Each structure stands twice: as C-alpha cells, then as structure tokens.
Amino acid sequence: MENRMVDSQQLALTNVVVQYPGTSAPQLTIPSVTAQVGQLIGIIGASRSGKTTLCRVLAGIIPNIVHGKLTGTVQLGSYQPVTDWAAYRQHLGVVFQDPAGQLSGLSETVADELAFDLVNQGQSEATIVTRVHEVAQQLGLTAQLSQAPTELSGGQLQRLAIGCALITHPQVLVMDDPTSQMDPQGRAAFFKWLRQLTDTTVLIVSDEIDDLCEIADQLWGLADGELVISGTPRQVINQLVPEWHLPVPVTTQLAQTMSWRLADQSWPVTLTELKEARYDHVAATQV
C-alpha cells in the first residue's frame, strides 16, 4: 500500500534556501540534513533564527501557501511538497504556535473537533469514536470531550490542536513550540507522551532543551537563519559555539560546574548521563 511505501522512506532536505519577497538576504539556509523514519528531531535556536520558517518549509506551506522563493528539495519518500503538494500533505500533521487558529471553528465539542478530519475522510462511525477516545486519552482530554473548544485553557487548546494533527496517523508531525501555553505538569506529561510516539517522524521546535535532550534522536541547531549543527543531543551540546546563542541543558551546566565528564570526556546532557559522569568522577577521586 502507498502508506507503507512512505513509511520506509526518510525525510530529507537538500540545499534548501528560502527568501521572502522584498528581502535582500535568505531567511533560511539548510545545506543537507535527514530524519529517519520514526525519529524525533528537536529544532533549537534563538529568536529569529529561522525555526518557524523551517517548520513552514517542512509543512509545504512555503511556497504553496506563504509566498517565498524556495530552492533545493524537501522530500518524504518520493514526495516533494513543491511538486507533489496534495500527495505530500496527506502524510503530514502540523501544529503551529496559535492553536485556536488551527481549529475548524465549526465544531460544538472537543470530540467533534477531533473527529472533523476523520468525518471528512468518510471513516466509519465506529472507527471515529474509537480513534477520538484514543487520542483524547493520550493527550489528557477525555474529561473535556463534551466541552466546547472555546471553554478550554490555553494549554488544553494546544493539546487539542496536537490531537487534531495526530488523529489521522500522519507519517510526519511538525510542531512549532507546542508547549508554550502549558503549565509545568502539562508540559511534563506532553514530553512523556511524545517519547512514546514510535511510528511517526516528529520535528518539534521547543525551548525546553532539557526535555529535548532526554527524548530526541537528533537536534538541529539554527543560528541567523542557517542550520549550523545537527546530530545526537550529546554531539550537538558538546560542540556549541557561543555565537550561535543555542540553549544549554541545566544538566550540562551542572556537570561543567562540578567537572563531571563522561568516559569519552564529553559533557553529559541527560540525567542518566549526569549520574554516570558523577559516579565516574567519584570513583576516580577515590583511587
């Protein structure tokens, strides 16, 4: 089946350059980077580093909806969003910074909003009911299913927007700062849930660098509109350049303060690595 064929392909960006009309310099430059099927990619960078522009490119919004000159290729399997926009978007879920702006505005309840795309696809009532309850449970919205979307808090609206993007089992899920309105408890629950997504390639912009380092397969670092570094969280954090203004995990900052290094002399970026580095340091000082 076509969906299974797409499952076996990676997401690849090659020589991507984006320039908005009326500007003299590119807003985004991506030489070459790939995401394997099922990977979670954390996109990090300071304000105006190009993170939202990258999300628009990944979503095919540039140049299909938002005008901008795009050169290079963004490819999911055999689909390029520039030339195969209709086919590409069928495998895509997108969540941007304004969750209310992504909702249909036609649904009386949270359950109806979640079901909206499935109804448009002609799915059976049994399938729709099952899927709506699955997604609501995953995102902690079961108690809100009978409420109107307008009655939700900002964090609940963000979770609803994520649910609407996830409801159709997209191959790729692109999220631009999806936790900005969540409280600490909701944010912790969100990242715990995100860790459990294994069949979807997730690309998420977030300032929560500690959470990203715990769950991400890769980090893509942007500075001044350019992809300046990519790799595993430990690779990226250990190669940061101050001029990039990229965030550093609290875990790494603590390790640097205490001079706790891992066996390969790199700084830890997760709690597990921090404990390992501390153990090695204590063992070395007792010899």
Q: What is the mean pLDDT of residues 195-199?
A: 83
Strands (E), 135-251: 172-176, 201-205, 218-223, 226-231
Residues 64 and 175 in one domain: yes
**Each residue's pLDDT tens digit, 3-45:** 444 445 589 999 999 999 999 999 999 999 999 989 999 999 9
Considering the domain architecture, whether residues 162 and 191 belong to the same structural domain is answered as no
Same domain, 137 and 164: yes
- Residue of higher predicted confidence among 252 and 100: 252
Question: Same domain for 189 and 165?
Answer: no
Domain co-membership, 128 together with 268: no
Q: Report pLDDT digits (tens) over 113-169.
A: 999 999 989 999 999 999 999 999 989 999 999 999 999 998 999 999 999 999 999
98 belongs to a structural domain:
no
Q: What is the pLDDT of residue 9?
A: 59
Average pLDDT over residues 219-225: 98
Total number of domains constituting the chain: 3
> Do the domain assignments include residue 97?
no
Q: Which residues pair with 71 in a beta bridge?
A: 17
| 48 and 74 belong to one structural domain | yes
Look at residue 96 and tell me if it is in a domain.
Answer: no
Q: Is residue 79 part of a domain?
A: yes
Q: Say what the alpha-carbon torsion angle 206, 211, 215, 221 is, to the nearest 10 degrees.
A: 40
> Which percentage of the chain shows pLDDT scores above 90?
72
DSSP single-letter state for residue 177? S
Which residue range forms the structural domain that includes residue 198? 1-91+170-241
196 and 153 both lie in a single domain: no
Say whether both 40 and 84 belong to one domain: yes
| Residue 284 belongs to some domain of the structure | yes
**83 shares its domain with 18:** yes
242-281: pLDDT as tens digits:
999 999 999 999 999 999 999 999 999 999 999 999 999 9
193: helix, strand or coil: helix
